[in-house]
Amino acid sequence: MTSIANNKQSGTIVLMSGHSETGNVRSINQDSFHVSKIAGGYLAIVADGMGGHKTGEVASQKAVEIVRRELSRNSKHPPTALAKAIQTANIEILDYAIENPDHKGMGTTLTAVFIDDQIGFVAQIGDSRAYLIRDNQIHQLTNDHSWVAEQVRQGILTQDEAQNHRMRNIITNALGHSEEVKLDISHFELKEGDKIFLCSDGISMLLDDNLINKIISNESPENAVSRLILEANKRGSPDNITATVLEVKQLQRKQKKYNLPEVNKLKPTSVALGETMSGIDKIEDAFPKQDLNSKLKRHPWYPYRLWILGSLYMILLIIILGQLR
């Protein structure tokens, strides 16, 4: 059990706890998680590896460690920092599989929440989940990247049918599995008392929203994590089980150096992350920075800056030469 409490009396204070177990059926735990306070905010990650014995374990551990490492170095613009960290993780996991053929085909889900005072950012790949529990109500913050979830969104399957479908474990998007990965980035505004829950599908497939809401609403993060793991084990836990719970104990609102999308907050910005910066650029466009350089880049004349400067230089040169005659 990992638990983190901040005893400082000023600023935003978030209590955090997490735990992972193999479950009652699997012989190895391919889940990984992380909760910590880092420079600029609070970070929680859950990853569920795939690819066979030890391979999935390596993928999830690497994903969590790389994302934590990259965000610890720079989280000044959280949505872009998250995207860059996940892009780096995808490349490094792919490279590791190439250098170690025994791990070919490995990959992992990754769900991360970064709290920047009153703003929470969610990054999603795969079918691990993040939830917001507020005023005794539960809201799912993520969309599953899975075959059954796609069928539900298209109206082909109902939620109940998807829950018991033989293909419910087939994900359509994984980190480290291919050169390009789809990333969903969304944001939500926080209030004091909010709780955020991240879990692998080993828990979400066994515990319904009502039970999750009841446990987390009435328990501290540490006790809630213990109860959730216990309830999953009572139901047989055929998969690895991982839970992290965050509680916003104190919130200090601060002016941010970036703008937020005006669209539905929980509607994600979806981008394809490859080896180029095109996906990162889309995230920056969706959450524009407020520094002078970024504002200039968004000006409609910015693409023509070199032509304009060249033209001004030529005009100035003509004026100077005219005065010398």
pLDDT of 128 > 80? The answer is yes
pLDDT-derived band at 263 (thresholds 50, 70, 90) equals: low
Q: Comparing C-alpha atoms, which of 69, 71, 161, 74 is closest to residue 123? A: 71
Which one has a higher pLDDT value, 90 or 170?
90
Residues 155 and 231 grouped into a single domain = yes
Quote the pLDDT of residue 168: 77
CB atoms inside a 10 Å sphere around CB 172? 14
Residues 147 and 246 grouped into a single domain = yes
State the amino acid at position 202 in one-letter form: G
How confident is the model over 227-237, as a mean pLDDT? 96
CATH code (residue 155): 3.60.40.10
Q: Which domain holds residue 311?
A: 292-325
Of 169-183, 290-304, 306-320, which range is least confident?
Answer: 290-304
Residues 134 and 273 grouped into a single domain = yes
Computed over every residue of the chain, the mean pLDDT equals: 89
Which one has a higher pLDDT value, 1 or 215?
215
Residues 276 and 298 grouped into a single domain = no
Of 117-131, 243-257, 268-282, which range is least confident?
Answer: 268-282
State the amino acid at position 234 in one-letter form: K
pLDDT of 137 > 60? The answer is yes
> What total of structural domains would you count in the chain?
2
Share of the chain above pLDDT 90, in %: 67
Residues 121 and 63 grouped into a single domain = yes
Residues 285 and 296 grouped into a single domain = no
Residues 323 and 230 grouped into a single domain = no
Token look-up 């980035």 returns 185
pLDDT-derived band at 5 (thresholds 50, 70, 90) equals: low
**What tokens were used for 136?**
């005794």
Q: Comparing C-alpha atoms, which of 198, 195, 232 is closest to residue 217? A: 195
Q: Comparing C-alpha atoms, which of 181, 192, 246 is closest to residue 35? A: 246
Residues 220 and 310 grouped into a single domain = no
Residues 81 and 229 grouped into a single domain = yes
Q: How far apart are CA 129 and CA 255, in angstroms?
A: 29
Which one has a higher pLDDT value, 206 or 295?
206
Quote the pLDDT of residue 208: 95
pTM greater than 0.75 (yes/no): yes
CA atoms within 13 A on the CB side of 280: 15
Q: How far apart are CA 121 and CA 114, in angstroms?
A: 5
pLDDT of 157 > 70? The answer is yes
pLDDT-derived band at 268 (thresholds 50, 70, 90) equals: confident
Quote the pLDDT of residue 156: 87
Residues 89 and 160 grouped into a single domain = yes
Quote the pLDDT of residue 262: 73
How confident is the model over 182-201, as a mean pLDDT? 96
Express each pLDDT in 276-302 by its tens digit: 899 999 999 889 887 545 555 655 666
Yes or no: say if 60 and 49 are a contact pair by the CB < 8 Å rule. yes
Token look-up 């996940």 returns 86
How confident is the model over 42-58, as a mean pLDDT? 90
pLDDT-derived band at 1 (thresholds 50, 70, 90) equals: confident
pLDDT-derived band at 267 (thresholds 50, 70, 90) equals: confident
Residues 79 and 19 grouped into a single domain = yes
pLDDT of 93 > 80? The answer is yes
CA distances from 152 to 83, 200, 202, 300 (A): 27, 20, 20, 41
Q: How far apart are CA 207 and CA 97, in angstroms?
A: 34
Residues 259 and 299 grouped into a single domain = no
